[in-house]
Structure 1
Amino acid sequence: MKGVLLVNLGSPDSPEPKDVKKYLGEFLMDERVIDVPLWARTLLVKGIILNTRPKASAKAYKKIWWEEGSPLIVLSEQLQHKVQEEVEFPVALAMRYGSMTIKKGLQELVDKGVDEVFLIPLYPQFAMATTETITVLAEELRQQHFPNLKIESLPAFYNNPDYISVLAESIKADLKDKDYDHLLFSYHGVPERHIRKSDITKSHCKIDGSCCETPSIAHEFCYRHQCKEVTRLVGEHLELTPDSYSTSFQSRLGFDPWLQPYTDRTIERLGKKGVKKMAIVTPAFVSDCLETLEEIAMEGEEIFHEVGGQEFTTVPCLNTNMSWVKLLAQWINEWSETVVEA
């Protein structure tokens, strides 16, 4: 029997500091998130970050927390239910971090008689700290607890024409009656070393301004290229002029070089340059979360107004957009047909 497991990042159980600390501890101790030796990661996370960051993060979570719970969890659950209505297979939901574990999600499917799982990481682009950590953990859990289970994963879909169409049309619909001077595509940042580590050629990715545009098999696992490609493809779909949109990266941590340009500095620069009406879309996420609702919609807007900007529009993530729901269902049905033929 076939089944589907949707997997997103995760969330604390509550916006209280103790729950945020527990969540951050699990998240930041992942070797694919902070990819330094265990001793250094332990010193950094448990010795420094968890003694300072949970209170500030808890305040941020409290700003965006819904009555029903974490926006990311609530929206992901709504997505799961809508996808379930479109397919005949059991659809479960899990998070990479937090109490809604991948193990629980797999167990839920197994308890329903599932022996073939279509694992769908809810990230359009590949990254060590997102797609890879999900698929690696799922395989470890399969070997340890579900040896008879077959798992196949949906690859990064950043350049899938149907996805680009759904994303572009959702942006177009949201901005239909809104005036803006510049559309900023803001993606979650990663350290530059993650890009080099994911380079299967070990030589292509130089992050020099040209490697992302030079064809290479390295692009299959290059987060930077895939983000820039989403921007380019959506820009083409919407027939945007080259100077009316750009790409940036948010949410950096620590002192190592992260992907640039940084979103906060880009917002500031554009505002100082004379942009009065800005719109921002966040295509690294399919569901709104802390990074979109607080970091962009609140902090980003504050920065923009401080430098003279007037109107700041945040485009919602795909969330439960029915075109997105139907596209996921289409991919699931295509997978099931391929498995049957095999």
Structure 2
Amino acid sequence: MARKPGVLLLNLGSPASTDVSDVRKYLGEFLMDGRVLDAPKPIRWIVVNGFILPFRPKNSAAAYKRVWTDEGSPLIVKSEKVRELLDCEDCPTFLAMNYGEPSIDQEIEKIKKQGITDLFLMPQYPHYAMSSYETVVAKTMETLREKAPEIQTKLLQPFYQDEDYLGALETVIRPYLEKKPDLVLFSFHGIPERHLRKTDPSHAHCLESGDCCENCHPAHATCYRHQCFTTAHKTAARLGLARDQYHISFQSRLGRDPWLTPYTDKTLEELPGKGVKRLLVICPAFVTDCLETLEEISMEGKDSFLESGGEFFVQIPCLNDHPAWIDVLRNRIDSWRNQTVASATPSA
């Protein structure tokens, strides 16, 4: 039987609209994920339904309204554009979100109906984290086992230090260096410190010393902090930035537990007092601009920096549908397809 390849792009998701009810539904689905809020389900239910959903949806809906476009959610719109650019007749490309729509369940149904036999799963997360990469992969594989166990899969691994990804970052960032910034800030999405310890297979390395991320260890294969540092350092080297010309921070924390530091919001308040007046910010943990980059950084973060004495602030766009990023994805797909065809061709 002839093989039919297909590609499934995977990302986080977005509310269906900026209505408070839709935002509440989205946040409920997101926060009830045991790999996001990693407490026992009864406790998670109480925290989410008793302390978060009665209050947070209204504020989040207001934030989404600030970045919403005529076409809809920026994350969905840009992701769909990427899907369209990669799609082709002999290797259809699909797009699914871990929360909201298009859902993983819906897209697997489409994939099965189209007779796809070999599927390349491409999580759009450069770095490994249980609350992003791990959870979307687990959900997708579970759905495939239930609905289409016959489909053969290939999984894109975290690509935080791959030369093609770093090259795309360099291409996007370099033109902005002409603005002569005092500093480039690499702001990564934050995670609770306990997540690092949970994903450390040795349970004896991550955060056990001040230089744990610099000391080679098997834990780095699933260490989000190490992988973020690696992306920043390698990208800065490609750009020719000295160590005092860039900084690393972590944004978007939730709750009172310790999260990865330094915090981006505190950093933006403090930098002007340290002589940084001209700032560029890049968010490499996101390949697509979304609420966390467009509202939290480009709006709230910018206001905070300027009000604290800064004079110039630019958030460099994510990779989005930049040709350099599309080339990276297309080359990965072509390489996979060639390997798939070769393995399926009987030897003479």
Q: TM-score higher than 0.5 here?
A: yes
Letter in 2 for 1:155: Q
Q: Give the secondary structure class of the aligned counterpart of 1:94.
A: strand
- The question of 1:82 aligning with 2:50 is answered no
* Distance in 2 between residues matched to 1:209 and 1:2, nearest whole Å: 46
TM-score (norm 1): 0.97
- The question of 1:155 aligning with 2:150 is answered no
- The question of 1:30 aligning with 2:22 is answered no
- The question of 1:274 aligning with 2:289 is answered no
Runs (5+) with no aligned partner, structure 2: 344-348
Q: Give the secondary structure class of the aligned counterpart of 2:296.
A: helix
Q: In the alignment, which of 21, 29, 32 is matched to residue 18 of structure 1?
A: 21
Instruction: Give the conservation status (yes or no) of the 8 Å contact 2:193–2:258.
Output: yes
Moved over 6 A (4+): none
1:106, distance to aligned residue in structure 2 (A): 1.6
* Distance in 2 between residues matched to 1:271 and 1:11, nearest whole Å: 33
Q: In the alignment, which of 107, 110, 113 is matched to residue 109 of structure 2?
A: 107
Number of the residue aligned with 1:225: 226
| Greater CA drift, 38-47 or 331-340 | 331-340
1:51, distance to aligned residue in structure 2 (A): 0.3
- The question of 1:123 aligning with 2:145 is answered no
Aligned in 2, Cα 1:176/1:305: closer, same or farther, shift over 3 Å?
closer
Number of the residue aligned with 2:98: 96
* Distance in 2 between residues matched to 1:207 and 1:112, nearest whole Å: 49
Q: In the alignment, which of 42, 49, 53 is matched to residue 50 of structure 1?
A: 53
Letter in 1 for 2:127: Q
Q: Give the secondary structure class of the aligned counterpart of 2:55.
A: helix
Instruction: Give the conservation status (yes or no) of the 8 Å contact 2:13–2:98.
Output: yes
* Distance in 2 between residues matched to 1:97 and 1:117, nearest whole Å: 21
Number of the residue aligned with 2:296: 295
1:70, distance to aligned residue in structure 2 (A): 0.3
Deviation readout 1:167-224 (Å, 9 max, x if unpaired) = 1121002x05322101000000000011111112221212533110111111111100
**Aligned residues with identical type, % of pairs:** 46
| Greater CA drift, 132-141 or 24-33 | 132-141
Deviation readout 1:62-118 (Å, 9 max, x if unpaired) = 000000000000000001111125x84110001000021111112222221102111
TM-score (norm 2): 0.96
Instruction: Give the conservation status (yes or no) of the 8 Å contact 1:83–1:326.
Output: no
Aligned in 2, Cα 1:114/1:92: closer, same or farther, shift over 3 Å?
same
Letter in 1 for 2:236: G
Instruction: Give the conservation status (yes or no) of the 8 Å contact 2:9–2:121.
Output: yes
Q: Give the secondary structure class of the aligned counterpart of 1:177.
A: helix
Q: In the alignment, which of 51, 60, 75 is matched to residue 63 of structure 2?
A: 60
* Distance in 2 between residues matched to 1:207 and 1:295, nearest whole Å: 31
Number of the residue aligned with 2:346: none
Q: Give the secondary structure class of the aligned counterpart of 1:151.
A: strand
Deviation readout 1:232-266 (Å, 9 max, x if unpaired) = 00010001011010110000000100000000011
Letter in 2 for 1:51: P
Number of the residue aligned with 1:234: 235
1:275, distance to aligned residue in structure 2 (A): 0.9
Deviation readout 1:115-149 (Å, 9 max, x if unpaired) = 21111000100110111001111111112111212
Letter in 2 for 1:198: T
Aligned residues: 340
Q: Give the secondary structure class of the aligned counterpart of 2:64.
A: helix
- The question of 1:3 aligning with 2:42 is answered no
Number of the residue aligned with 1:330: 331
